[in-house]
């Protein structure tokens, strides 16, 4: 099998690439940057932009399966940028698959496309898309993209969307570094008094879920046209997990706390200042981050276990051990 991984040089994309190679598949990567480490592994690397229909089609050509992982990540950015990359870029991938005769497409979505500002505890895939998007341009764009992928499902192109939650592990460029940098600058604070439960996903498990989905699409259409939550199947308090991650980096646990009300006020003020003065970079705090760290968000992965054959391979403790190696 020849598989294309968009974002193959990234954290999750790279893990998918390595697992495909390990089982003997031919792998092509499509990414904006150059990744000589992938070329050294035998990956056919295509450099380009998701916003270019021609570049996307050239990367898709000759592939049997596409894993569309690349995206503009959270938590901050302009709505038009998120739309151009995450929505129009995804439309380009779907169109390229159809024009080039690719029969299977696995899309990396996000659990943030569902729910809203309330706690989400043990929800399954019947949970509706969120309807309020204030300060949440990333999940808005991912929801639109997911809907386009699922709507494209047909006998010619079987599609599936995965929603891995809080991907983490060795080589993580987002979750741990973001908190670690703020902690070392003395800027990190717990927000509110709740240690809300979350169900993170170890990166190797997130990658394995993608391979499971691709294989099940080959076997039949039963899983096609649907979205599936992916996680470790284990919950932990978010601030407890952050403290454990800080410990692996030799940092002390968090002791300072700010109220939820103050955090919301600061996020609104700082976001407004960034927009008014068109400041570059990411605000020190955003409404999206405040919402994510002050609400429980964990999901029922029974459908992924039953329909995709997905089984988490790493507990949180086992994942933490790999960070200590």
Residue 27: per-residue pLDDT = 98
Residue 224: per-residue pLDDT = 97
Q: Which CATH superfamily is domain 2-165+203-231+298-312 in?
A: NAD(P)-binding Rossmann-like Domain (3.40.50.720)
Q: Which of 35, 138, 202, 310 is catalytic?
A: 138
- 5: β partners: 29, 67
Domain positions in the chain are 2-165+203-231+298-312
Supply the DSSP symbol for 128.
P
Contact criterion met (CB below 8 Å) for 32 and 47 = yes
Residue range 101-106: mean pLDDT, rounded: 98
Residue 207: per-residue pLDDT = 98
Answer yes or no: 138 catalytic: yes
Q: How confident is the model at residue 111 (pLDDT cuts 50, 70, 90)?
A: very high
Residue 133: per-residue pLDDT = 86
- H or E element at residue 121: strand 120-123
Q: How confident is the model at residue 177 (pLDDT cuts 50, 70, 90)?
A: confident
Contact criterion met (CB below 8 Å) for 228 and 159 = no
- Tally of CA atoms within 13 A in the half-sphere of 123 that contains its CB: 23
> Percent of the chain scored above 90 by pLDDT?
88
- 258: β partners: 191
Lowest mean pLDDT among 47-56, 102-111, 137-146, 220-229: 220-229
The verdict on pTM exceeding 0.85 is yes
Mean pLDDT of the chain: 95
Contact criterion met (CB below 8 Å) for 66 and 93 = yes
Residue 80: per-residue pLDDT = 96
**Does residue 17 have a pLDDT over 90?**
yes
Q: How confident is the model at residue 220 (pLDDT cuts 50, 70, 90)?
A: confident
Q: pLDDT, tens digit, for every residue of 26-79?
A: 999 999 999 999 999 999 999 999 999 999 999 999 999 999 999 999 989 999
């Amino acid at each position: 099998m020849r598989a294309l991984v968009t974002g193959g040089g990234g954290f999750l994309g790279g893990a998918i690439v390595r697992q495909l190679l390990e089982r003997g598949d031919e792998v092509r990567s499509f990414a904006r940057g150059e990744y000589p480490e992938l070329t050294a592994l035998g990956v056919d690397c295509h450099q380009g932009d998701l916003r270019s229909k021609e570049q996307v089609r050239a990367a898709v050509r000759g592939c049997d399966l596409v894993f569309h992982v690349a995206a503009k990540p959270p938590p901050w950015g302009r709505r038009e940028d998120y739309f151009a990359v995450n929505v129009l870029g995804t439309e380009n991938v779907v169109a390229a698959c159809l024009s080039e005769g690719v029969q299977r497409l696995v899309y990396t979505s996000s659990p943030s496309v569902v729910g809203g500002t309330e706690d989400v505890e043990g929800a399954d895939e019947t949970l509706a898309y969120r309807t309020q998007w204030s300060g949440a341009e990333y999940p808005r764009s991912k929801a639109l993209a997911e809907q386009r992928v699922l709507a494209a499902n047909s006998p010619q192109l079987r599609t599936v969307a995965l929603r891995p939650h809080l991907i983490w592990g060795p080589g993580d460029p987002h979750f741990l570094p973001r908190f670690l940098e703020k902690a070392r600058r003395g800027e990190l604070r717990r927000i509110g008094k709740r240690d809300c439960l979350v169900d993170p996903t170890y990166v190797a498990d997130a990658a394995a879920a993608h391979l499971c989905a691709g294989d099940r699409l080959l076997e039949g259409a039963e899983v096609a046209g649907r979205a599936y939550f992916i996680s470790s199947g284990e919950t932990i308090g978010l601030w407890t997990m952050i403290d454990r991650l800080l410990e692996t980096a030799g940092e002390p646990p968090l002791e300072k706390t700010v109220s939820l009300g103050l955090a919301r006020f600061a996020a609104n003020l700082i976001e407004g200042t960034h927009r008014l003065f068109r400041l570059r970079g990411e605000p020190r705090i955003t409404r999206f981050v405040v919402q994510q760290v002050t609400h429980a968000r964990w999901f029922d992965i029974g459908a992924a276990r039953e329909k995709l054959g997905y089984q988490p391979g790493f507990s949180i403790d086992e994942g933490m051990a790999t960070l200590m190696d």
